[in-house]
């Protein structure tokens, strides 16, 4: 297996950094538990907007602005970050919040829900353009987490952190339906817990490993082929960006780290990165 090391790109101390997405020449991401939407560019990170609720993902929209996963709902904001519409998804004040997500071929949103206390329970949801209600596509999940599409939109990849699996579904870009689920890989507990994922241009799936301090690439036959070591234990997600989309940006967290652990890994909560010979693909913009 090829082993590489990531470097610190944007120093931060995010409580729960997540949801990186490359848009234009900018890296967008969130600090979930602090409710912060962030932008990193030219070695500088700025806060675009702060909420008093968890914000778990950001998706650039084709018409400008963004779609955000805010606690129990999808919130649409314009280019000035003003809220223009909301789509309720979960009961307000309930036990669940929205988690990770991705944009499908038609610009529809796919996202998971999970319990605040991290116990098993949640679902996989879809929201299409023009809809005022999200569809529950899969229910009774352990812990819905990373979602990503194949470069040609032939497949959807989904992480269930509680089950420690990456599952692949056939995806129909015309109907936006999924079918034929099969487990691509089940992660050994010694490696960490699977979290966010990214898919490269030739089909490799990069899996962030919470408590494992690494990101690993799994081939379509289920074999590990590459490993990126990260100087932070709690690795949360990753996304391709930068020149030629050949930089893998990696988010991390300080949550659950005590004083001793934080002293041993002072870069925890930062954005890390590494330039790879394999690039990613331009991410689809949302049409919701």
Active site residues: 195
Phi, psi dihedrals of residue 114, rounded to the nearest 5°: -150, 165
DSSP string, 145-202: EEEEE-TTSSEEEEEETTTTEEEEEEEETTTTEEEEEEEEEE--GGG-EEEEEEE-TT
Residue 5 marked in a binding site: no
- Tell how strand 235-241 and strand 17-23 pair up: unpaired
The encoded tokens of residue 181 equal 């689920």
| Cα separation, 184 vs 35, whole angstroms | 32
Burial of 114: CB neighbours in 10 Å, binned 0-12, 13-18, 19+: buried
Residue 219 marked in a binding site: no
Residue 180 marked in a binding site: no
Residue 221 marked in a binding site: no
DSSP structural state of residue 263: H
Q: What is the helix (H) or strand (E) element at residue 288, kind and residue range?
A: none
| Cα separation, 28 vs 22, whole angstroms | 6
Q: How many residues does the chain have?
A: 288
Partnered with residue 33 across adjacent β-strands are none
Residue 78 marked in a binding site: no
- The answer to whether 53 and 35 are in contact (CB under 8 A) is yes
| Cα separation, 254 vs 233, whole angstroms | 9
Task: Please name which of 160, 126, 159, 155 lies closest in space to residue 142, comparing C-alpha atoms.
Answer: 160
Q: Which residues are annotated as a binding site for substrate?
A: 97, 117
Q: Which residues are annotated as a binding site?
A: 18, 97, 117, 145, 195
């Amino acid at each position: 297996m090829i082993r590489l090391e990531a470097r610190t790109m944007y120093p931060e101390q995010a409580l729960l950094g997540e949801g990186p997405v490359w848009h234009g020449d900018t890296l967008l991401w969130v600090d979930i538990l602090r409710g912060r939407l962030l932008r990193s560019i030219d070695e500088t990170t700025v806060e675009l907007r702060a909420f008093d609720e968890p914000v778990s993902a950001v998706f650039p929209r084709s018409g400008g602005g963004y779609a955000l996963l805010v606690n129990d709902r999808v919130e649409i904001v314009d280019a000035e970050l003003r809220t223009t519409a909301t789509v309720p998804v979960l009961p307000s004040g309930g036990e669940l919040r929205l988690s990770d997500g991705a944009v499908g071929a038609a610009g529809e949103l796919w996202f998971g829900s999970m319990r605040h206390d991290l116990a098993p329970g949640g679902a996989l949801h879809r929201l299409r353009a023009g809809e005022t209600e999200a569809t529950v596509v899969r229910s009774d999940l352990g812990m819905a987490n990373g979602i990503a599409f194949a470069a040609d939109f032939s497949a959807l990849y989904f992480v269930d952190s509680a089950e420690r699996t990456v599952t692949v579904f056939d995806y129909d870009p015309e109907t936006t339906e999924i079918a034929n689920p099969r487990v691509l890989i089940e992660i050994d507990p010694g490696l960490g817990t699977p979290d966010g994922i990214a898919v490269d241009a030739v089909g490799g799936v990069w899996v962030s490993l919470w408590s494992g301090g690494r990101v690993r690439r799994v081939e379509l036959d289920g074999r590990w082929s590459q490993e990126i070591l990260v100087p932070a234990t709690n690795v949360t997600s990753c996304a391709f960006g930068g020149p030629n989309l050949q930089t893998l940006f990696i988010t991390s967290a300080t949550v659950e780290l005590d004083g001793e652990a934080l002293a041993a890994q002072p870069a925890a909560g930062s954005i890390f990165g590494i330039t790879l010979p394999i690039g990613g693909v331009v991410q689809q913009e949302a049409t919701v």
